[in-house]
Amino acid sequence: MKYFTKEWCFGKLEDQEYEKIERNYHEYIERIYDDLSPSLKILVKNINLHDGIVKTITFFKKEKIFELEGIFGDLDFGYFSLILKYYHVRSFDEDILRDTFESKKLEILSHEIESQGKNNYSHKMIFDNCKEFEVVFKNLELRIIDSVSKSYERVNCKLLIDEN
């Protein structure tokens, strides 16, 4: 993570430093905003992944598609199921996928989007177990489905790796 590091996520900075990092990230997003795809614009401006529970991770190796499904929201906003489907992803080492996701109860603490040139992006996430994960991709599909608060419970993440 470039901005929202483990120190930022786990309360190891002074208040002014937190605010400076948030401001720097938002300024960065404003600089790249016009170059983002519509789905990334929605993600960075309108969807809060903080405290989201990761339920299922699927990696379609042959198609180079990575899918994250989870439950997000809060009592004020309401809860929703969110599926982030990344296309043209860089391949992952299966050991890294298993180490990060398989049978873990995971909450996303923070995330950041980074532009890596024309139609190439990175989505970095940090989880409550201190693991960091990065998806490098070209396109993103968002699916949002209304949910209920009882869906927002920590469960072991299911990892599926499709070889076909």
**Residue 92's pLDDT is what?**
86
Cα–Cα distance, 82 to 70 (Å, whole number): 6
**Residue 14's pLDDT is what?**
87
Contact 106, 163 (CB under 8 A): no
At 72, phi and psi to the nearest 5?
-135, 170
At 73, phi and psi to the nearest 5?
120, -170
- Helical ranges in 10-68 per DSSP H: 15-32, 38-46
128 conformational bin, left if phi > 0, alpha if psi -120 to 50, beta if neither: alpha
Place of tokens 């209304």: 146
Contact 57, 104 (CB under 8 A): no
**Residue 29's pLDDT is what?**
97
Contact 74, 128 (CB under 8 A): no
Q: How many Cα atoms within 13 Å fall on the side-chain side of residue 27? A: 7
pLDDT, one tens digit for every residue, the chain (164 residues): 899 988 888 888 888 898 899 999 999 999 999 999 999 999 999 998 999 999 999 999 999 999 999 999 988 888 999 999 999 999 888 899 999 999 999 999 999 999 998 889 999 999 999 999 999 999 999 999 998 888 888 899 999 999 87
- Quote the pTM value: 0.93
